[in-house]
Amino acid sequence: MLTNIPLGDTERPVPRWALRLARALPFVVLPHCLWRLPFAVDFRMGTIDPAAPAFTWWATPYVIGLSVLTEALALLTLGLVSGWGEVFPSWVPFLRGRRVPRLAAVAPAVLGGLALVALFDPMPLAWLGVLGFEEVAYSNGWWQALARACTSPSMLWGPIVLALACAYHHRRRPTLDPRPGPGPARDTM
């Protein structure tokens, strides 16, 4: 279970909400990954697409690889809430033990989160047929409902990554020394 995975010590405490989101993210995208898998064996899941190309040999490794890559990227966000996201692990050559530059983690996370928002968040527009977005046709409403139920959680992926990137940036930013320094002399009279 992901809740038992030790994420390592971080320099500053990780907010509980960020830890929970990072641990939940692989499960958020899992239904979409599982929805894709029948397409790997040319089972169309009720979709009607007359322009769809004929099944080819590379469709199976492509669909399976895409699902594995999706889960790997979701698991990679655990670095935004763990120690290995702040200090390079010992298995990374030349960098082991060095601090991860804050922007080296934040910039890809923000760019990836924005790309995911652009990719998945127009889905409701397609469902409504708004602004030229079109949804794939289905043979009946049950297939369409199943497709929406499996793919709609992926709309949360981009916003979750953006929230985790902001929390990481906030946690890793330099802070001012909170100790009070010598102030102006006060006259006690």
Structural domains in the chain (count): 1
Range(s) of the domain holding residue 18: 12-172
- Name the average pLDDT for the chain: 86
Whole-number Å distance between alpha carbons of 27 and 102: 27
Q: What are phi and psi of 78, to 5 degrees?
A: -60, -25
* Highest mean pLDDT out of 29-33, 58-62, 132-136: 29-33
Res 182: pLDDT: 55
In this model, does residue 124 exceed pLDDT 80? Answer: no
Per-residue pLDDT averaged across 53-78, rounded?
A: 93
Per-residue pLDDT averaged across 44-62, rounded?
A: 86
The residue whose two tokens read 């190309």 is 53
Residue 178 lies in a domain: no
Read off the pTM. 0.82
Tell me which of 57 and 112 has the higher pLDDT: 112
In this model, does residue 43 exceed pLDDT 80? Answer: yes
Whole-number Å distance between alpha carbons of 64 and 88: 30
How many alpha carbons lie under 13 Å from residue 62 in its C-beta half-sphere?
8
Res 1: pLDDT: 45
Residue 183 lies in a domain: no
E strand map for 26-184: 47-48, 137-138
Residue 28 lies in a domain: yes
Residue 182 lies in a domain: no
How many alpha carbons lie under 13 Å from residue 66 in its C-beta half-sphere?
14
Residue 3 lies in a domain: no
Residue 47's DSSP bridge partners are: 138
Per-residue pLDDT averaged across 2-23, rounded?
A: 79
In this model, does residue 10 exceed pLDDT 90? Answer: no
Residue 30 lies in a domain: yes
Whole-number Å distance between alpha carbons of 23 and 36: 22
Whole-number Å distance between alpha carbons of 166 and 172: 10
68-93 pLDDT tens trace = 999 999 999 999 999 888 998 888 88
151-185 pLDDT tens trace = 999 999 999 999 999 999 999 988 765 555 554 54
Residue 7 lies in a domain: no
Whole-number Å distance between alpha carbons of 171 and 99: 14
Under the banding of pLDDT at 50, 70 and 90, the label for residue 131 is low
Q: What percent of the chain has pLDDT over 90?
A: 57
Tell me which of 93 and 25 has the higher pLDDT: 25
| Token pair in block for residue 166 | 């902001």
